[in-house]
Amino acid sequence: MNLLTSLRRTLIGAFAASLGLAALPAMAQDTPIKFQLDWRFEGPAAMFLVPLAKGYFKAEKLDVTVDAGNGSGGAVTRVASGTYDMGFADLAALMEFHANNPAAANKPVAVMMVYNNTPAAVLALKKSGIRTPADLSGKRLGAPVFDAGRKAWPIFAKANHITNVTWTAMDPPLRETMLVRGDVDAITGFSFTSLLNLEARGVKSQDVVVLPYPDYGVKLYGNAIIVSQEFLKKHPDAVKAFLRAYTRGMRDVIADPKAAIAAVKERDGIIDSALEERRLKLALDATVLTPDARAEGFGEVRGPRLSLMASQVSDAFGTKSRVDPDAVWNGNFLPGAAERNIFPAAKK
């Protein structure tokens, strides 16, 4: 082989290689999705960590990262700012953001209802004498100012004719401690969180009174999967794919909660697996596997109920403008009804 022939072959090889490299960006790439949870890596986080760990998102050509959060309000604002593409947040918090920020350009929208019933509840110790909502009149209640149950308290109070309540604000870690110490008569919080927190402080579950909002006339929706408007417009197929993979993962979580907690343990090695399994089961029973969810269909909402919630949130939260239910919800990206039938067969 002479020098000229060798040079030609080298140039041809380099040209071919450059063509290959140039074509790489045009090849189908996994769509990156940054996802913000509403809270820490606890039991309910398994609902998102299981499809991630099992590769269900990857199978849909999605490159998903899931980060812990510090409240629904934070999840909503981070998705609205574009820091995150999707998130998990209380629908009431999303409604509040919409109504208080009418000019915001990238208001998130809910695309799948996960907690068909709000997990908000009032909790008290039996020794207080509180047994029913009527017993709360004239009592001292406590909760962080941003707590979902506290913000929705006017709805609960109106439905149950409760009057003359005084509120004490505190940071989340002090809520159950102040109840145990007797600084307040009752607290509001997510039922599956506050009950286990009270047990961790030495209170037996049989000594706790739990008054779930849905059981006492407050049919608010709870947490939903939300998406930024910008991401929804640019990647509608990716949103559909995410919801398909998520639904597939939810089937696994419901079928085997114990195994699902292993995915949470991978993200936070110091969690108590047995405790978080209980928390996950409580969350599923209170919000996902409910008669309301079975009637409406997993992931879905019903127009009249959504409109009533929008009106109630507008009044209770004192928003700058009225909540538009059509602006906060878009169910067009949900998997089919049969695919979303994740409920176990009823026991005979």
Q: What whole-number distance in Å separates Cα of residue 297 and Cα of residue 309?
A: 18
pLDDT of residue 345: 79
pLDDT of residue 163: 97
Q: Which of 164, 199, 216 is the last residue of a domain?
A: 216
Q: pLDDT tens for the chain, 348 residues: list them.
A: 454 445 455 544 554 444 454 444 445 799 999 999 999 999 999 999 999 999 999 999 999 999 999 999 999 999 999 999 999 999 999 999 999 999 998 999 999 999 999 999 999 999 999 999 999 999 999 999 999 999 999 999 999 999 999 999 999 999 999 999 999 999 999 999 999 999 999 999 999 999 999 999 999 999 999 999 999 999 999 999 999 999 999 999 999 999 999 999 999 999 999 999 999 999 999 999 999 999 999 999 999 999 999 999 999 999 999 999 999 999 999 999 999 999 987 665
Q: What whole-number distance in Å separates Cα of residue 195 and Cα of residue 161?
A: 25
Number of structural domains (the chain) is 2
* Residue span of the structural domain in which 298 resides: 31-117+221-328
pLDDT of residue 8: 54
DSSP, collapsed to helix, strand or coil, labels residue 329 as: strand
DSSP, collapsed to helix, strand or coil, labels residue 166 as: strand
**Which CA distances in Å does 12 have to 9, 222, 284, 318?**
5, 62, 62, 71
DSSP, collapsed to helix, strand or coil, labels residue 240 as: helix
pLDDT of residue 220: 97
Residues 157, 286: one domain?
Answer: no
Specify whether the CB–CB gap between 218 and 303 falls below 8 A.
no
| pTM attached to this predicted model | 0.90
In a domain, residue 347? The reply is no
Specify whether the CB–CB gap between 149 and 120 falls below 8 A.
yes
Q: What whole-number distance in Å separates Cα of residue 87 and Cα of residue 91?
A: 11
In a domain, residue 192? The reply is yes
In a domain, residue 335? The reply is no
**Structure confidence by residue, pLDDT tens digits, 267-302:** 999 999 999 999 999 999 999 999 999 999 999 999
Residues 206, 243: one domain?
Answer: no
For residue 22, what are its two tokens? 């140039």
Q: What is the residue whose two structure tokens read 């029973």? A: 285
In a domain, residue 271? The reply is yes
Residues 87, 129: one domain?
Answer: no
pLDDT of residue 23: 45
Residues 109, 232: one domain?
Answer: yes
In a domain, residue 160? The reply is yes
